[in-house]
Amino acid sequence: MIIRLKEGGERIPLTISGSDPKKGLITIIFQEIGKTTIELGRMEEGESILNLVGPLGMPAELKNFGTVVCVGGGVGIAPILYRVKALKSVGNRVISIIGARNKDLLILHNEMKELSDELHIATDDGTLGRKGFVTDVLDEVLAENRVDLIIAIGPVVMMRAVTGVGSAHGVRTVVSLNPIMVDGTGMCGSCRVTVGKKVRFACVDGPEFDGEFVDFDELLQRNRRYLKEEAASLMVMRAGRCTCFEETGCE
Amino acid sequence: MKKQDVSRRIKNFEEVALGLDETEAVLEAKRCLECQRPWCVRGCPVGVDIPRFIRAIRDGRFEDGIRIIWEKNSLPAVCGRVCPHEVQCEGVCSLARGCSKFMTAKGRARVEAFLEQFNLTQKRRRPVSIGALERFLADYAAEHGITPYTAGSDMKGKGKVALVGSGPASLAAAGELARRGYHATIFEALHAPGGVLRYGIPNFRLPEEIIDREIRQLKDMGVEFRQDVLIGRTLTIDELLSDFDAVFIGSGAGAPVLMGIEGENLNGVYSANEFLTRVNLMEAYRFPETDTPINIGKRVVTIGGGNVAMDSARVALRLGAEESIILYRRRREEMPARREEIENAEEEGVEFKFLTTPTKYIGDDEGCVRAVECIRMEPGEVDDSGRQRPVPVAGSEFTIEADTVIVAIGQRPNPLIPTTTQGLETGKIRNIIADESGRTSIKGVFAGGDATTGAATVILAMGAGVRAARAIAEYIEGCKD
């Protein structure tokens, strides 16, 4: 879905990580990383978001695939949890692998453990689970099990690596892409990604694509489009006013 | 009409054309011949009674004048600014085409007498500035607090209609439905209503306040607006049909067309839709005061020859580009943009390269665009559009440096609604198939504007909206019998 906090705010895409249609509730788990997510984190109970539109994009394919490995990295664990729940509800065997830089950044591991048939944890510094990357674990899991599908949600670099490991074992990997979006309805083309030599809009054709065909390098490059401006935006927010943007462009 | 001074206007987003004052408007109105057979009315896609409102201006009855327009057109302040008058009402004005063979002898005599009286040569037959007069009345009404007729609540029981998209087609349809006593609810996917008027047309051509004002008037007439609802995802057409008596799809042509050439996904290559949305809807020109950024280089190259290309190239200048260049694959006289906007762009310093098309974009190590490789074109055989199809001249490739590129070569209908609505027939470009009155292949579902035709003009979309609204009223009446 796309949210906008306030007048003058930007539209940002976030993934739903849980819902309760009866109560009319949705759960969103996000990481405070840029101006908008930091502001969202500062909101108090009872405050409201100005705009919210969704659900957007194509619904994920859901059926009994057999054995599915779900790989979640960082804040990507939130939507993976939602997916594990759905996959289990239609009878899949789910092996989950989650990872983060350290123990403190690893979210939802108790919930993941409860839902998954098997859970593996990897942290870069070894503070929880094994030391290393999710791909190291994935490699072993794929060697020991007959796996029908891999689903990876997390940083682009992680999804690229997971797809590589999957391909090496002949298993299809579905990834969830997170390019920069504006409207989220297929109107602007900001989120275009190359998949199998064709240009697709992640907001309406995705966000999930077959990892094997995604041009990850292009996606990484396109996601860097506004680094400078994003930094300026944060600086202005922290300083309460712009101190350097006009003169130096915050370089 | 007076315009904002060039040197000033390229530094701001304020309106370029300044409008007429009362004296100027009355003088202009006096030029109307009051033809027996008013061609201008036929030239207007919504059939505004033009001679009658011009007569009202001539007599100083400005409130009557605006009410005459409102009978047929809910958005005169918008139309007075962005309609291509020169090919519609003004294009067929008897003053412009006084020698028409369709004129009666009496009419011709009047024209001749008039031309003689004002000492006009055949070549200087300027049509009445109908667009400027329409704009004058709309602005006069706003200044003097004159608002359209508000339907009584007793009429609201006639039926409920859902309209998809809040652009010109739906706004016009909703206005017509409200006037006829129906309850109209407009669904918009974005956070602000107006569709292309809001995200696509820059403030210097159509100020935001004008859109707000005309939308407020529709609200006063009882039209309801629901933002942040994407029809086809949040709610489907089928779901709308269970709550409403009829549905009108006016979802426009919002999907950008790209050329599919090498380097099009480099950083710095924008679709015109993204570029204009960031600036107009998200107010990126006020960044970092607002949160949505935009990158603008020193040299901006825009591809295309329509109004969207002119708008993009002019916005680029206002954002601080040192050079703004338009590449168009055909000749100057074949550009689909309005003459007035081409002139405005030229005055502001936009440079044009005709018979030129890009073949690929060249980037640097960081993945940012640095140059456009182009090829020269020459006019070939006549195509479906009646124009000579441009063909590339072999070996004429050359490159021009650019750090921002805006691709403004057209828009297509968004395929979301057709793909999520069973039984809705579509054409070649996923446009919804509808007849003259907007009837689609599904009973109770109507469509009009760019969603059915592909990208066209504001007023054509409004015309389609009004026709569909009449058909919807008929349909709902028919259901009751």
pLDDT tens, residue by residue, B374-421: 999 998 888 887 778 899 999 999 999 999 999 999 999 988 999 899
Same domain, B407 and B364: yes
C-alpha B81/C-alpha B395 separation (Å) is 43
Query: How many of the other CB atoms lie within 10 Å of CB of A238?
Result: 10
Same domain, B438 and B464: yes
| Residue whose tokens read 């190590």 | B365
Which range of residues forms the domain containing residue A141? 67-224
State the smallest CA–CA distance between residue A45 and chain B in angstroms. Answer: 22
Least confident of A99-103, A228-232, B104-108, B151-155: B151-155
Render pLDDT for B181-238 as a digit per residue (tens, 0 to 9). 899 999 999 999 999 999 999 999 999 999 999 899 899 888 999 999 999 999 999 9
Q: Does B110 contact chain A (CB < 8 Å)?
A: no
Give the count of alpha carbons within 13 A of A226, CB side only.
22
pLDDT band at B102 (very low <50, low <70, confident <90, very high): low
> What residues of A are in contact with residue B429 (Cβ under 8 Å)?
none
Domain presence at residue A181: yes
**Percent of all residues in chain B with a pLDDT value above 90, rounded to a whole number:** 59
The chain B residue lying nearest A205, using CA atoms, is B416
State the smallest CA–CA distance between residue B274 and chain A in angstroms. Answer: 4
Annotation: binding site of A for [2Fe-2S] cluster:
188, 191, 203
User: Could you say which of B191, B230, B260 has the minimum Cβ distance to residue A4?
Assistant: B191
Domain presence at residue B154: no
The CATH number linked to A212 is 3.40.50.80
Inspect the interface and report whether the beta carbons of A56 and B271 lie closer than 8 Å.
Answer: no
Same domain, A206 and A85: yes
Query: What is the per-residue pLDDT for B151?
Result: 56
- pLDDT(B22) > 60: yes
Question: Long-range contacts: A117-122, Cβ < 8 Å, 24+?
Answer: A117/A93, A118/A94, A119/A95, A120/A95, A120/A96, A121/A97, A122/A97, A122/A98
Q: Any alpha helices (H) in A100-155, and if so which ranges?
A: 109-115, 134-144
The CATH number linked to B247 is 3.50.50.60
Which range of residues forms the domain containing residue B269? 258-411
Same domain, A26 and A100: no
* Mean pLDDT of chain B, nearest integer: 89
Same domain, B325 and B407: yes
Least confident of A237-241, B102-106, B263-267: B102-106
C-alpha B216/C-alpha A32 separation (Å) is 37
Same domain, A126 and A197: yes
Same domain, A33 and A143: no
| Residues A165 and A159 sit within 8 Å (Cβ to Cβ) | no
Instruction: Determine the residue among B191, B271, B308, B406 to mutate to test chain A binding: the one whose Cβ has the most chain A Cβ atoms within 10 Å.
Output: B191
Inspect the interface and report whether the beta carbons of B260 and A199 lie closer than 8 Å.
Answer: yes
| pLDDT averaged per 10 residues, chain A (length 251) | 93 89 90 89 92 91 92 91 92 93 88 91 88 90 91 94 93 94 93 94 93 94 88 79 48 38
Q: Does A58 contact chain B (CB < 8 Å)?
A: no
| Residues A26 and A16 sit within 8 Å (Cβ to Cβ) | yes
Inspect the interface and report whether the beta carbons of B254 and A187 lie closer than 8 Å.
Answer: yes
Q: How many domains does chain B have?
A: 3
Same domain, A105 and A220: yes
User: Could you say which of B234, B274, B288 has the minimum Cβ distance to residue A236?
Assistant: B288
> What residues of B are in contact with residue A56 (Cβ under 8 Å)?
230, 233
Please choose, from the candidates B373, B376, B377, the residue with its C-alpha nearest in 3D space to the C-alpha of residue B389. B377
C-alpha B448/C-alpha B169 separation (Å) is 6
Query: What is the per-residue pLDDT for B383?
Result: 82
Query: How many of the other CB atoms lie within 10 Å of CB of B106?
Result: 9
Same domain, A10 and A119: no
Same domain, A171 and A191: yes
* DSSP letters for B391-450: EEPTT--EEEE-SEEEE-S-EE--THHHHHSTT--B-TTSPBP--TT-B-SSTTEEE-TH
Same domain, B138 and B7: yes
- The size of chain A, in residues, is 251
Inspect the interface and report whether the beta carbons of A187 and B234 lie closer than 8 Å.
Answer: no
pLDDT band at B88 (very low <50, low <70, confident <90, very high): confident
Same domain, B10 and B84: yes
Same domain, A147 and A170: yes
Same domain, A12 and A129: no
Q: Which residues are B432's β-sheet partners?
A: B426
Inspect the interface and report whether the beta carbons of B295 and A229 lie closer than 8 Å.
Answer: yes
Q: How many domains does chain A have?
A: 2
Residue at which a domain ends, from B112, B144, B176: B144
State the smallest CA–CA distance between residue B372 and chain A in angstroms. Answer: 19
Domain presence at residue B70: yes
Same domain, A44 and A144: no
- Structure tokens, A120: 């593996």
- 3-class secondary structure, B198: helix
Domain presence at residue B56: yes
Same domain, A116 and A174: yes
ipTM of the complex, rounded to two decimals? 0.89
Same domain, B336 and B453: no
Same domain, A100 and A47: no
Task: Enumerate residues 23 to 52 of chain A having a beta carbon within 8 A of any beta carbon in chain B.
Answer: 35-36, 50-52
Section B94-123 average pLDDT: 64
